[in-house]
Structure 1
Amino acid sequence: MSTSSSPRPLAVLVGVQLPGVSDTDHAADLAELGRLVHTLGYEVVATVSQRRERLAGGTVLGTGKLKELAHLTGGRGTVSSGAQERKSKARERWEAKAEEAEAEAAGEEAEVEEEDEELPVEELAAESDEEPATARPTVVVVDHELSPSQLSNLERATGAQVLDRTGVIVDIFHRHARSREAKMQVELARLNYLAPRMRESTGSRERQQGRGSGDSAVELDRRKIRDRLAELREGLASIQQDQENRRYARRDQLRVALVGYTNAGKSSLMRALTGSEVLVADQLFATLDTTVRALQPETRPRVLVSDTVGFIQKLPHDLVASFRSTLDEALEASLLLYVVDASDPTWEAQLEVTRSVLREIGAQSVPSRLLFNKADRLSPEAREALLQQHPEALVLSAHSPDDVAALRLTLIEFFDRSMVEAELVIPYSRQARIGEVYEHARVISEAFDETGRRLKVRALPAAMARLTRAFEA
């Protein structure tokens, strides 16, 4: 492990490669976890990985790899303090056999583990004295969701703070939330995550004193969390009702929703298409709030573009549920643009994650187009290969004005194919309402006669039906 002069706290990544997970996918998962950890503010200095048939029930890793991890963090490598994990003798025998089988299958890696297991505690302690304490990682991040007992056991074995993938994502959402709704959504998911992981503290807080209360401190804390969750749900219901009213008012407008994996370039594309000053940052989950802006230069009828929260592998279900109202923007869109980072070697898996989440909310039937972004990072051969694989897709860069102009034209043509043409007669007594026509339809020609203004227009069928009813004699 190398030392680092970075002021960021140091972290170690931990991953278990389970059966059915390829080396490439496992490496991609750990690389993505590293980007998540970096976004959260830590510096990754080491990675501990192991192949196993399943996660070890108590500590995720086998005993050898656990000591290897503890050697990096300066921990003891055993769960020897606090409440010991309880196992039956049959369970112990089964785990011992499993460890032996894994050691034989792992070959040379297993031999390294055995050597680590044989290191005496004194030797580990002597080695920890050779490096300054500040050079040791203080955080262990596991690429799996941990149970409360696994988290506690790992903290005792490593002497470091332990986070799981879900906890990292929830914390990033917590830091990046800006609007009142996003903050409430994240707090809801965060409390649902933290509540089962609360542990009873020792000492004087073991029991609350006074008024004859027999409730433990953690029980009172959990009661406060339940009350806060109820308060948050009530507040979100009110906000979401306002959102539904706004979406209903936009029901006849043309709407494009940008959906895709986090950091695929949706916000850059949003800024290029609409000229809006949305946040653009090279970090995961920079955008949590849905932004709706009109396509620029404006068209008639207007085309609204919305930027949505990005997706990621193993996105916690509580976050999907909390952001359901935000994702409804995609559900009610006229067209979905699946934005994919074409320069990422795992783009196919990322696209499947996006499709999976949208299937979960019922948006798979919304018309869509596949858009490969960041084409400026591709070689001409790679770009051509993408088009051969997906001839219907758009390949572009959000930083290329020509590419953005071509995308804008593609959107206009898509909606134009859905429009119908009709003639409207606007009586002179209703000229004050002419703005409704220009807002929801494209005026092709106009003429005047004794009955009023005659307009030949193109609009979506629903909007055309409503305009026809509005100006009937």
Structure 2
Amino acid sequence: MTTTQQERPLAVLVGVQLPGVDDVEHAADLAELGRLVHTLGFDVIATVSQRRSALAAAAVLGEGKLKELAELTGGSGVVPSGAPERKNKARARRAAESGEGDDGELGEDEVDDADEDGGGAAPDAGGREARRATVVAVDHDISPSQARNLERATGAQVLDRAGVIIEIFHRHARSREAKLEVEIARLNYVAPRLRETGGGGDRQRGGIGGKGAGESALELDRRKIRDRIAELKQELSGVQREQSTRRALRQGQRRVALVGYTNAGKSSLMRALTGSEVLVADKLFATLDTTVRALHPEVRPRILVSDTVGFIKKLPHDLVASFRSTLDEALEASLLLYVADASDPTFRDQLGVTRSVLSEIGASEVPSRLLLNKVDRLSEEEREALRLEFPEATLLSAKIPGDVAALREAIIGFFEQSMVEAELLLPYAKQSLIGEIYENARVLSEEYDDAGGRLAVRAHPAALDRLRSLLAR
């Protein structure tokens, strides 16, 4: 018996090279968008790019490029116009004045007409019907009206860069906190993009006794979204209080946070440093939930390592705001390890993005080290060039045990610098605190006399103050 592998849907990338963006940066942006779209489950069949001083107000691209795009999707390449458009423009102005976003110009029924004008899929050289792209991914943030005009011209679903990232986050979120954060960002993204249905002018009966115009279906949907966001935020605040309690319990412990661009290899390093079975996948945003594990083999006092959500260029602001509690793990760390994929030619720009986001949440003052990962993919000449350019960085590969062991020793050495030696008196009446002492300090020796145990320890000053406070109660 034979099985046929299900074909992945197809997508086309659209990018506009704006003034001030060079060819290398533009190509890198489109390549990254292609990886995002692939992570979302689509195969990219083509890229349509154009140099312009600004995005076309109507449909992002100029007329010629719009027709070229439509040939790949089976659309007409033309944004329909006419009386319905004028009617909906007035509605868009009213929505803009009310602060609720742009409703676009045409109704859903015109989309069907545009699809019909574009014709079906043309046959390929073998006489079979060629597959058309069903999604157009735009490497910019575009307005709701631009997206809908592109949909009418192409007959395909249109997602801008923010929409693609939010959808990936939505699919990959696992913990309750991450799911709530993503859903809030997703609803904030969807709300201004709602449109009237074919009979969108209908209104719900309103007022006491059914008098008054009441809400339109669109207004009702938006109100439901606002109410849902309020519910989610309330639920999220409860989850975040629990997380804050857990972080408070770890206060004073030695913590390291792995931060960096998405797919830089943070999860691979996390697994190598802690021996934990965290998810490792060669795709963008494989990790959305902060994972905390102890450095392995364990040292005393323990060192906790956390793997945080990855960053990306043009990360939607709503996602940065929603994931602030997750990013607080970096803010409260004792040491930040900036992980960069040294084999990626654009890693310098990626480092800039990481530093920018961390600066936004106030984590730029936390002590940090730069790790240039995946150097096993580089030649010796390339590695030497990186050593000269980044003399303070650690070059390593998460796949090489020796490199991981050296990093582990460097982490331990960082914390050793701030540790001091002291003596603690542990009365017999407080022997229950012995576990707390071993958890937060390295015990060098123990001696017992009539007063109790005298422990020579080595610990961080803050941990020592906490232990002395517990012993003095």
Q: Does 1:21 align with 2:21?
A: yes
In the alignment, which residue of structure 1 is the partner of 2:446? 446
- The 1:288–1:195 alpha-carbon spacing in structure 2 relative to 1, beyond 3 Å, is same
* 1:321-340 aligned within 5 A: 321-340=321-340
Q: 1:58, 1:85 within 8 Å by CA — same for their partners in 2?
A: no
In the alignment, which residue of structure 2 is the partner of 1:129? 122
Cα deviation, residue 432, structure 1: 2.2
Q: Distance in 1 between matches of 2:440 and 2:349?
A: 39
Q: 1:81, 1:156 within 8 Å by CA — same for their partners in 2?
A: no
In the alignment, which residue of structure 1 is the partner of 2:179? 183
* SS of aligned partner of 1:471: helix
% identical aligned pairs: 69
Cα deviation, residue 48, structure 1: 0.3
In the alignment, which residue of structure 1 is the partner of 2:135? 139
Q: Distance in 1 between matches of 2:428 and 2:224?
A: 64
In the alignment, which residue of structure 1 is the partner of 2:241? 241
Q: Distance in 2 between matches of 1:246 and 1:168?
A: 32
Q: Distance in 1 between matches of 2:40 and 2:172?
A: 10
- The 1:188–1:126 alpha-carbon spacing in structure 2 relative to 1, beyond 3 Å, is closer
Q: Does 1:292 align with 2:292?
A: yes
Q: Distance in 2 between matches of 1:330 and 1:394?
A: 20
Residues 155-184 of structure 1 show CA distances to partners (whole Å, capped at 9, x for unaligned) of: 111111111110000000000011111111
Aligned length in residues = 434
* 1:248-287 aligned within 5 A: 248-287=248-287
In the alignment, which residue of structure 2 is the partner of 1:63? 63
* 1:109-258 aligned within 5 A: 129-131=122-124, 135-203=131-199, 206-208=202-204, 212=210, 214-258=214-258
Q: Which runs of 5+ in 1 are unaligned?
A: 89-120
One-letter identity of the residue aligned with 2:51 = R
* SS of aligned partner of 2:301: coil
Q: 1:6, 1:43 within 8 Å by CA — same for their partners in 2?
A: no
Q: 1:422, 1:458 within 8 Å by CA — same for their partners in 2?
A: yes
Q: Distance in 2 between matches of 1:452 and 1:359?
A: 48
Q: 1:170, 1:190 within 8 Å by CA — same for their partners in 2?
A: yes
Q: Distance in 1 between matches of 2:302 and 2:230?
A: 39
Q: Distance in 2 between matches of 1:310 and 1:161?
A: 27
One-letter identity of the residue aligned with 1:466 = R
Q: Distance in 2 between matches of 1:133 and 1:366?
A: 58
One-letter identity of the residue aligned with 1:218 = L
Cα deviation, residue 382, structure 1: 1.2
Q: 1:12, 1:44 within 8 Å by CA — same for their partners in 2?
A: yes
Q: Distance in 2 between matches of 1:411 and 1:225?
A: 46
Q: Distance in 2 between matches of 1:341 and 1:32?
A: 14
One-letter identity of the residue aligned with 1:146 = I
Q: Distance in 2 between matches of 1:151 and 1:126?
A: 21
Which TM-score applies when normalising by structure 1?
A: 0.88
- The 1:429–1:40 alpha-carbon spacing in structure 2 relative to 1, beyond 3 Å, is same
Cα deviation, residue 129, structure 1: 3.4
In the alignment, which residue of structure 2 is the partner of 1:357? 357
Q: 2:254, 2:302 within 8 Å by CA — same for their partners in 1?
A: yes
CA RMSD of aligned residues (A): 2.1
Q: Distance in 2 between matches of 1:357 and 1:266?
A: 17
In the alignment, which residue of structure 2 is the partner of 1:44? 44
One-letter identity of the residue aligned with 1:144 = H
Cα deviation, residue 219, structure 1: 1.1
Q: Does 1:74 align with 2:70?
A: no
Cα deviation, residue 52, structure 1: 0.7
Which TM-score applies when normalising by structure 2?
A: 0.88
Q: Distance in 2 between matches of 1:134 and 1:168?
A: 25
Q: Does 1:301 align with 2:301?
A: yes
